[in-house]
């Protein structure tokens, strides 16, 4: 399982570090992640379904490694969403951390990360998801004056 998860994480980190727009990197990451899930079926689906990155409670080295891989994956995705918001490529009023979790939820499911009593209520998260889906995250290109 560690090998399959690590493969997806290494690809995500490579994409996050690429010198491309946040939009391109986010599309590439989504494609690569789901492709990795498919190529490593059913291992990756078991990892996601059972939320294996939470195994470290047993104190095992394998559990700690899975937890670190989960942290690295989220950090790679977070870099892309943060870069998009900070650069102005995505709407400046987006919460880049919430956007990261929206993407994770789309790939997996929200029960993987949503915690009642957290920073946002379920209604607020649902409203933010609707905004992201309806407005999108990529800022429209503004036409330059002078006929360009």
Q: Is 23 contained in some domain?
A: yes
pLDDT, position 53: 58
Q: Is 8 contained in some domain?
A: yes
Token readout for 57 is: 């409670």
Report whether 54 contacts 45 (CB < 8 A).
Answer: no
pLDDT, position 134: 47
Q: Is 109 contained in some domain?
A: yes
Report whether 67 contacts 54 (CB < 8 A).
Answer: yes
Domain tally, the chain: 1
Q: Is 143 contained in some domain?
A: no
Q: Is 92 contained in some domain?
A: yes
pLDDT, position 92: 87
For the chain, 148 residues long, the average pLDDT of each consecutive 10-residue run is 91 97 87 73 74 63 86 96 94 90 77 68 64 67 60
- The pTM of the full predicted model, rounded to 2 decimals, is 0.74
Q: Residue 61 in 3-state DSSP?
A: helix
Report whether 96 contacts 82 (CB < 8 A).
Answer: yes
Domain CATH number, residue 56? 1.10.357.10
Q: Is 65 contained in some domain?
A: yes
Domain hosting residue 117, numbered range: 2-135
Report whether 77 contacts 100 (CB < 8 A).
Answer: yes
pLDDT, position 74: 95
How far apart, in Å, are the Cα atoms of 38 and each of 25, 44, 115?
A: 20, 8, 28
Q: Is 142 contained in some domain?
A: no
What CA–CA distance (Å, rounded) separates 118 from 122? Answer: 9
Q: What is the tally of helices (H) and strands (E) in the chain?
A: 6, 0
């Amino acid at each position: 399982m560690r090998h399959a998860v690590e493969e997806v994480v290494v690809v995500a980190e490579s994409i996050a570090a690429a010198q491309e727009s946040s939009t391109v990197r986010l599309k590439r990451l989504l494609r690569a992640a789901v492709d990795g899930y498919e190529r490593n079926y059913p291992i990756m689906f078991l990892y996601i379904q059972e939320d294996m990155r939470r195994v470290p409670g047993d104190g095992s080295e394998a559990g700690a490694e899975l937890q670190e891989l989960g942290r690295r994956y989220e950090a790679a995705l977070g870099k892309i969403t943060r870069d998009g918001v900070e650069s102005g490529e995505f709407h400046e009023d987006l919460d880049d951390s919430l956007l990261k979790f929206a993407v994770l939820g789309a790939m997996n499911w929200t029960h993987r990360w949503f915690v009642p009593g957290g920073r946002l209520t379920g209604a607020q998260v649902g409203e933010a998801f609707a905004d992201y889906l309806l407005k999108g995250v990529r800022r429209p290109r503004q036409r330059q004056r002078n006929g360009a």
